Amino acid sequence: MGKGNGGEATLRTTPVIARRGDAAPQSYDPLQWLKREYDGAERALAFPFEQPKAIPSWRRRLRKELGDALGFPLYRPVPLAPKLLSTEPGNGFVRRCYELETLPGLKTVVFVILPAEMTGPVPGLVCCSGHTSSVNELVGLACDGSDRELFTGYQHDFALQAAREGFVAAAHEQIAWGRRQAFRHLQKTPGVHGCWQIAMDAIQLGMSLPGLRAFEAIRVGDLLRTLPEVITRRIAVAGISSGGNVCLFAGAMDKRFSAVVTSGYFCTFRDSIVAQHHCMDHYVPGLGRIAEMCDVAALVAPNTFMSETGTEDGGFPVQAVRQSFADLKRAYEMMGVGDRCNLHVFRGDHHWEGVRVWPWLRKMMAA
């Protein structure tokens, strides 16, 4: 057997399992290869900046392709039949709890938070949590259902904030969290993230976890439209972190949402979920060859889009946020609605800030 050249000898003697921190040859690194593929991939339905007359057809095509990637053709709606479970007074709000069937045989819990004093219908807001122990983190409840200190944690009870700001808020338990974890799987594989098996099984069926969650957010919006306390044509959707991808996709797919607000999420796919480790609930099969995040957000137009982000949010780097927003703002301006697109960068880390969100949202929802 020949000795081969020096390079081959080096490869033969390289340990199969490298020590942490060791650098593999770039040509052996599949993750770097995938990132190069991503950078070189043509976005088939990027916003047509050079062809303004093509915008209407672009919107139709991207919405269809996005819906297919999310799995929307496979999600069968069921008749809307929310079941009221409880009503409780709070400090400046009233908290109702509903059970809602979102897909055939699949249910969730929805908390509807109303301002304590109302003189007539007000705008509604669907609130999508980020990674969490439970939706309870948005509505002032501890994990055991008891009351707790308000406005804590990175999500700051933003559904309660919404009610205090004059909205009727709806916050539901999203798939894979809280009451809707894959309990049997987690018992068998302790330490595995709750999203993992659900996301993988969804992909195997041609669905996606972001798609399922976005579809459910749309159904929660439908629940709000049945309430006499809500102005049915003034319903927005908001979310933080991975809840941001839920509300972004929901707002892109359903034009009835009059506004979309993301917190700690809007960026570029390339510089966030492709550049570093994120939960699998962020990933949509094939989307990298279809569009970037700003293209998806442009589908929200002519409705309002707002994003807030912290300067120290490492998961969604602020420089890439500004770059993506500049492209989105340009797209909104080309569609004649540049004033309906806004970004607030605050000093801080990954959390719901809300300081600029509420006045902006009230203003735009009143327009």
Helix, strand, or coil (residue 119):
coil
Domains annotated on the chain, with CATH:
72-366 (3.40.50.1820)
The predicted-structure confidence for 137-162, as pLDDT tens digits, reads as follows 999 999 899 999 999 899 999 999 99
Q: What is the pLDDT of residue 25?
A: 73
**Residue 186: its H or E element:** helix 183-188
93-103/341-346 β-pairing: unpaired
Pair of tokens at residue 180: 């809707």
CA separation (Å) from 162 to 132, 225, 230, 253?
19, 17, 13, 23
C-alpha 364/C-alpha 367 separation (Å) is 5
Q: Position of tokens 């009233």?
A: 94
C-alpha 239/C-alpha 221 separation (Å) is 13
Helix, strand, or coil (residue 304):
strand
Q: What is the pLDDT of residue 1?
A: 45
Pair of tokens at residue 98: 């509903």
Within 10 angstroms of residue 145's Cβ, the number of other Cβ atoms is 10
C-alpha 236/C-alpha 300 separation (Å) is 11
C-alpha 70/C-alpha 287 separation (Å) is 9
C-alpha 127/C-alpha 160 separation (Å) is 10
Separation of first and last alpha carbons in the chain: 80
Pair of tokens at residue 54: 């093509």
Residue 107 identity (one-letter amino acid): K
With left for phi above 0 and alpha for psi between -120 and 50, is residue 218 left, alpha or beta? alpha
Confidence (pTM)? 0.92
Q: What is the pLDDT of residue 367?
A: 72
Q: What is the pLDDT of residue 274?
A: 95
Q: Could you write out the DSSP letters of every residue in 185-228?
A: HHHHSTTS-THHHHHHHHHHTT--HHHHHHHHHHHHHHHHHT-T
Q: What is the pLDDT of residue 28?
A: 86
Residues of the chain short of pLDDT 70, as ranges, are 1-24, 183-193
Q: How many residues does the chain have?
A: 367
Pair 141, 148: CB distance under 8 Å: yes
C-alpha 123/C-alpha 226 separation (Å) is 13
Pair 241, 131: CB distance under 8 Å: yes
304-310/341-346 β-pairing: parallel
The predicted-structure confidence for 106-128, as pLDDT tens digits, reads as follows 999 999 999 999 999 999 999 99
Side-chain-side CA neighbours of residue 364 (13 Å):
27
C-alpha 260/C-alpha 245 separation (Å) is 11
